[in-house]
Amino acid sequence: MRANNVRSIIADGRCAVNAWLSTDSPYTAEAISHCGFDSVTVDAQHGMFGRDALVRMLQAIAAGPATPMARPSTLDPAELGWLLDAGAYGIVAPGIDTAEAAEHLVAACTYPPRGRRSFGPSRGLLYGGPDYLDQADRTVTLWAMIESAQALGNLEQIAAVPGLYGLYIGPNDLALDLGERPGGRIGDTVARHCATIRDAAHRNGLAVGVFCADGDEAARWRFEGFDLVTPGNDLSMIRAEAQKRIASVRGVVGAAAPATGSGY
């Protein structure tokens, strides 16, 4: 089976850099895959596209060197299995607030006897290789998103669930649930929780990832010992670069693009 680049990078002690797609463009997906990102996540929860577009985007990512991943809209086993069948090599699952939810995620994404995933790998077999059935459970990465006060209270139990690969922080929903304003860079309160989540993940042999507002924030968390960082999504990168170029044309020296919430 084709190797999972993210697993290899993190096993080597390096930090994987993950792209995040929220817009419906296979062309953009293909270009992003060739930019140097280690993985590219297609967002089926908040992305502005439907199921058919998602397949085309996974195909486009697979045309480049980055590892294709996906965030599902729900923990529905049918959707989780379908995303894996479509060729996702990683699942970043939202709303994992309890150990039971984490167990549900693992069961839906792994084949018997460990789990209950239905056989029908489709593009997974095409992209992954003829031994997909034998190797998928050891190759695909399952990330549990920590994005609520309830999840923080159940952190150790979630991190102890067998079959998880990592914990992934959704800082904006976490901020919102803690009574803070989401969007922009990670505030002090959420940052303290990020460190706690990192430590819990590593204590339980898991990787830890985080969604960031931009490259500077992603660099901060890389140096804080995170294993995977996402420096914003495609739309935020386009907007920031567009505003930077407009400022250059208009002679606004040193102007910074205004902070914009990413929705994640």
Helix, strand, or coil (residue 124): helix
Residues 91/141, Cβ–Cβ less than 8 Å: yes
Q: Which residues of 12-47 are buried (b: 16+ CB within 10 A; e: fewer)?
A: eeebbbbbbbbbbbbebbbebbeeebbbbbbbbbeb
Q: What is the residue type of 261?
A: G
Q: What is the residue type of 168?
A: Y
Angle (nearest 5°) at CA 18 between 104 and 215: 130
CA-based nearest residue to 145, from 221, 203, 208, 212: 208
Length of the chain: 264
Report which secondary-structure segment, H or E, holds 8.
helix 5-11
How far from each other are the two terminal CA atoms of the chain, in whole angstroms?
32
Check 34, 46, 193, 202 and give the catalytic one.
46
Active site residue 104: no
Report which secondary-structure segment, H or E, holds 39.
strand 39-43
Tell me how many helices (H) and strands (E) the chain has: 13, 8
Cβ within 8 Å of residue 213, ≥6 positions away: 184, 185, 186, 232, 236, 259, 262
**Catalytic machinery residues:** 46
